[in-house]
A and B are shown apart, each in its own frame.
Chain A
Amino acid sequence: MDRFELRSQDFSLDEDQLAVRAAFADFFAKECPPETVRGAEPRGFDADLWGRLLTLGVGSMSLPTTAGGDDATLVDLVLIAEELGRVLAPVPLISHVVATRMLERAGAPASLISAAARGDFLVTLAHAPVTGGARQLVPDAAVATHVVALLDDKLVLLSADGPGAHVSNQGCTPLAWWRPTDGHDRTVLAAGAKAGAIHTDAVAEWRLLTAAALVGMADAALRLGVEFAKTRRTLGVPIGSLQGISFPLVDIAVGVGGTRHLVWKAAWYAQHEPGSRPELPLMAFDAASRTATHGTSASAHVHGGLGFSVEADISLYFLRAKGWSLLGGSTSANLREIGSVIAGAA
């Protein structure tokens, strides 16, 4: 990478992007208040909300028009994912969209792709490549009947009659143990280098969209902390006027502002110059998982003891910062992948 090359640094959204963001912000604000999030616990799936999202076309919008989609870009998807994260929406949108895009890229039968795009069945992806029969935790596998996995050098769609058994977890998400041997129907989607490339790209996309959701989550946690700090008083002044309170909140804002931009930039590169900066989605994910972890924790702390109680909405955010960012595996592994790209390319 030439650090001095002359590139545009335009982080503005165009009218269509602003409209997409506004529409989904509006939808999620109306359809997913904190009671909906609490009501979906512990499995973390609101079928009604998911159904309404599907009628908006989220399952198909990012597919090519030739596959019945609208050619929505990764930039559109990160804008939507941020709004989803802002309200902690209990829907498997990220896994399902990423896995559906894998089906399309692998050239799966059109009927299968359109069924996934309509949400006739729920599909997710196994993040860790599989070489034996060892089980792994797969995000959203407690609601999905279909799992896309890289088995040795083949990309395979494995389907079962029902989803996996939910395991209780910190973030109240539909997490399940999964192994490729449990009575699944198998369809080989791709083999060899192509299979590996599709899987690698999909994992990066999942991290990118999850990063966007984590930005929304951290931003919402910040807003809760700021509103609390404006009204709560101590020693005759609002606590938000004290630098011991305001500076930690500012640091959340610094993290959110930068990470949002990094997510957008990573989405743009993945969309328009795929392959040229493969580390960017991973960087966005690393930054977002730390921004959300720090931001939700710091905001809960601003709430004092109230922020430690399950009644406070900030508790929902705190528990999902790790609850969402660790679904794809260890963040250290992600960091090592960034290091490998940097050490290979610099």
Chain B
Amino acid sequence: MDFSLVELTRDQQIFQRTVRALLDEVVTDEVHEHERATGDGISVPVHLALGRHGWVMPEWPVEDGGAGLDPVCRRILELELARYQVPRIGLGTTRLVWAAVERFGSRELRERLGPGVADGSVRFCLGYSEPDGGSDIAAARVRAVRDGDHWIVNGSKLWTTGAQCCQYSFVITRTDPDLPKHKGLTMFLVPLDLPGVEIQPIMTYGGERTNAVFFGDVRVSDDQRLGEVNDGWTVLRGPLDKEHSLGPGRDVLEDLSSLRQYLRPLETALDVAVAWARDSTKPDGSGPLADAAVLERLGRAATEIELAVCTPGPLGRVKIGDVMIEQSAQLMDLVGTEALISAGADGALGHEGDIDFTHRFAQGTTIYGGTVEVFRNIIAQHDLHLPRASFPGAKVVI
């Protein structure tokens, strides 16, 4: 057990200063304004700047376009990106998909895409969910039919966040409808600039833009296939397992849950609520801190955040989403009417109406990467060893 501060070597201190200097320069007010206006989840200029330093794939060797960073420097980078509130959904999905490309892609594909991934010019998004089913990914119905050395893809994908800023989508398709549910699937890295691909924005009240992506007779080269035909489930499971944090042997510098970053807006909202409690004056001249109930609510919110940070793996996935929703609503109630004021309007709290934003944003955090109900099923079976529910049409609950 150890929670001590990591002592940085001279080189690591220099690295930390270098990261901060770059982020000071490239993470401008415009970057945050752009994100607030578009909800892109990625800032292309910042992503390219990271790429120029080898920080998109920081553990890769320098000759491959990475920065050869040690685990401490990788963690420094991660924390500074969080501190500067760099929009980085696209960074996460790109890294996630690369894990599958590296393992299942042809050598030609890896060599063709690797340098672009590293320099930031090639970005990946996830084509998992479909209009008919969200978290039940294996129910995919997007059809891919072989045509010589190409495949003809038809159908639609939903919740493909970042598609408007990415070059490829990691698409799971149905290649053999006669095989059992998990057997007739094949993965492709579909270029999003092919004829027949149409990206339609879906705006969320969490501030994020996501997309529906339609495929109409899209001709995809067989070179873009990952893994064997009809073995797409194996290919998809690799990164998905990583996303679900089921793997053993964790790095002690890393967060206990892969979704710990979702708590960041709530931490900001708490700090804003504390500042409000300390500094604001009510019309009758009193301050909020004179009210013991205010202290109790701040204490509870802070406790729940700390508890969520400490909750491991899939348990943390559930806890983080629940805490986001419950405590953002509590902070809204605590502050009252002022919490409703939109970013930029007179009296907005914090930098960007942070409590208002967090309350809206929180609602997505029990859905992203699989709903918390999916994770409760996983915990029931894998941690508690409760008997598996038997539902028609669901042989495997992921």
Judge: A and B partners, yes or no.
yes
Q: Which residues of A contact B (CB under 8 A)?
A: 3-14, 17, 75, 222, 226, 229-230, 237-238, 240-243, 246-247, 249-251, 253-254, 257-259, 261-262, 264-265, 268-269, 272-273, 279-280, 282-283, 286-287, 332, 335-340, 342-343, 346
Contact: A340 with B295, CB < 8 Å? yes
User: A240-B387, A250-B380 are contacts. A6–B296 as well, Cβ < 8 Å?
Assistant: no
Contact: A346 with B390, CB < 8 Å? no
Within 8 A of A (CB), among B264-298: 264, 267, 270-271, 274-275, 277-278, 289, 292, 294-298
Contact: A237 with B390, CB < 8 Å? yes
Contact of A247 among B255, B294, B302, B380 (CB under 8 A): B380
User: A7-B6, A253-B315 are contacts. A226–B302 as well, Cβ < 8 Å?
Assistant: no
Contact: A335 with B387, CB < 8 Å? no
Give CA–CA (A84, B395) in the complex, Å: 42
Of the 9-residue stretches B74-82, B189-197, B230-238, which lies at the interface with chain A? B74-82
CB distance from A130 to the nearest CB of B (A): 22
Contact: A247 with B376, CB < 8 Å? yes
Which of A13, A238, A261, A343 has the most chain B CB within a 10 Å cutoff? A343
CB distance from B56 to the nearest CB of A (A): 20
Contact: A6 with B76, CB < 8 Å? yes
For the complex, would chain B's binding face be called helix, strand, loop or mixed by DSSP majority?
A: helix
Contact: A342 with B310, CB < 8 Å? no
- B121 interfacial contact with A, CB 8 Å: no
Nearest to B316 among chain A residues (CB) is: A258
- B308 interfacial contact with A, CB 8 Å: yes
Contact: A335 with B300, CB < 8 Å? yes
Chain A residues in 8 Å Cβ range of B2:
8, 10, 268
Chain A residues in 8 Å Cβ range of B72:
6
Given contacts A240-B384, A339-B294, 14 further A-B contacts (CB under 8 A): A3-B267, A7-B3, A10-B2, A226-B384, A237-B390, A238-B386, A247-B373, A247-B376, A254-B379, A259-B307, A261-B256, A283-B302, A283-B307, A336-B299
Q: Can you name 10 A-B pairs with beta carbons within 8 Å?
A: A4-B80, A6-B75, A8-B6, A9-B253, A11-B310, A11-B312, A265-B310, A283-B306, A336-B292, A338-B303
User: A247-B380, A250-B380 are contacts. A11–B1 as well, Cβ < 8 Å?
Assistant: yes
CB distance from A83 to the nearest CB of B (A): 17
Give CA–CA (A208, B297) in the complex, Å: 21
Chain B residues in 8 Å Cβ range of A335:
295-296, 299-300, 303
Give CA–CA (A14, B2) in the complex, Å: 10
Which of A230, A250, A269, A272 has the most chain B CB within a 10 Å cutoff? A250
Contact: B302 with A258, CB < 8 Å? no
Top 9 closest A-B pairs, CB basis? A339-B295, A258-B311, A338-B299, A339-B299, A261-B310, A10-B252, A240-B386, A246-B380, A10-B2
CB distance from B28 to the nearest CB of A (A): 20
Contact: B386 with A254, CB < 8 Å? no
CB distance from A311 to the nearest CB of B (A): 24
CB distance from A269 to the nearest CB of B (A): 7
Give CA–CA (A16, B383) in the complex, Å: 26
- B4 interfacial contact with A, CB 8 Å: yes
In the complex, per-residue mask of B245-270: 1 if CB is within 8 Å of any chain A CB, else 0: 00000001111100000001001001
- B203 interfacial contact with A, CB 8 Å: no
CB distance from B267 to the nearest CB of A (A): 6
In the complex, per-residue mask of B365-398: 1 if CB is within 8 Å of any chain A CB, else 0: 0000000010011011001111111100000000
- B22 interfacial contact with A, CB 8 Å: no
- B96 interfacial contact with A, CB 8 Å: no
Nearest to A286 among chain B residues (CB) is: B303
Contact: B299 with A226, CB < 8 Å? no
Give CA–CA (A242, B391) in the complex, Å: 11
Contact: A343 with B303, CB < 8 Å? no
Contact of B307 among A75, A250, A287 (CB under 8 A): A287
Which of B254, B308, B389 has the most chain A CB within a 10 Å cutoff? B389
Contact: B311 with A254, CB < 8 Å? yes
- B318 interfacial contact with A, CB 8 Å: yes
Contact: A343 with B3, CB < 8 Å? no
Contact of A250 among B80, B278, B310, B379 (CB under 8 A): B379
Chain B residues in 8 Å Cβ range of A262:
306-307, 310
Contact: B294 with A258, CB < 8 Å? no
User: A8-B2, A9-B3, A10-B252 are contacts. A343–B376 as well, Cβ < 8 Å?
Assistant: no
Nearest to B275 among chain A residues (CB) is: A346
Q: How many residues of B contact A (CB 8 A)?
A: 61
Chain B residues in 8 Å Cβ range of A261:
256, 310-312
Chain A residues in 8 Å Cβ range of B303:
283, 286-287, 335, 338
Give CA–CA (A346, B310) in the complex, Å: 20
Which of B256, B319, B377, B384 has the most chain A CB within a 10 Å cutoff? B384
Chain B residues in 8 Å Cβ range of A13:
1
Chain B residues in 8 Å Cβ range of A272:
3-4
Contact: B1 with A286, CB < 8 Å? no
CB distance from B257 to the nearest CB of A (A): 10
Chain B residues in 8 Å Cβ range of A249:
380, 384, 386
Within 8 A of A (CB), among B1-42: 1-6, 8
CB distance from A268 to the nearest CB of B (A): 5
Contact of B3 among A8, A251, A254, A283 (CB under 8 A): A8
Contact: A75 with B1, CB < 8 Å? yes
Chain A residues in 8 Å Cβ range of B264:
3
Chain B residues in 8 Å Cβ range of A7:
3-6
Contact of A14 among B1, B75, B252, B387 (CB under 8 A): B1
Chain A residues in 8 Å Cβ range of B256:
9, 11, 261
Chain A residues in 8 Å Cβ range of B1:
10-14, 17, 75, 264, 268
- B242 interfacial contact with A, CB 8 Å: no
Contact: B5 with A241, CB < 8 Å? no
Contact of B386 among A4, A9, A241, A283 (CB under 8 A): A241
Contact: A250 with B384, CB < 8 Å? yes
Contact: B298 with A250, CB < 8 Å? no
- B83 interfacial contact with A, CB 8 Å: yes
Contact of B315 among A237, A258, A339, A342 (CB under 8 A): A258
Contact: B4 with A241, CB < 8 Å? no
Contact: A342 with B298, CB < 8 Å? yes
Contact: B6 with A286, CB < 8 Å? no
Contact: B383 with A258, CB < 8 Å? no
Chain A residues in 8 Å Cβ range of B270:
342, 346
Contact: B390 with A229, CB < 8 Å? no
Chain B residues in 8 Å Cβ range of A339:
294-299, 302
Nearest to A280 among chain B residues (CB) is: B306
Give CA–CA (A301, B380) in the complex, Å: 17
CB distance from B265 to the nearest CB of A (A): 12
Chain A residues in 8 Å Cβ range of B298:
338-339, 342-343
CB distance from B395 to the nearest CB of A (A): 15
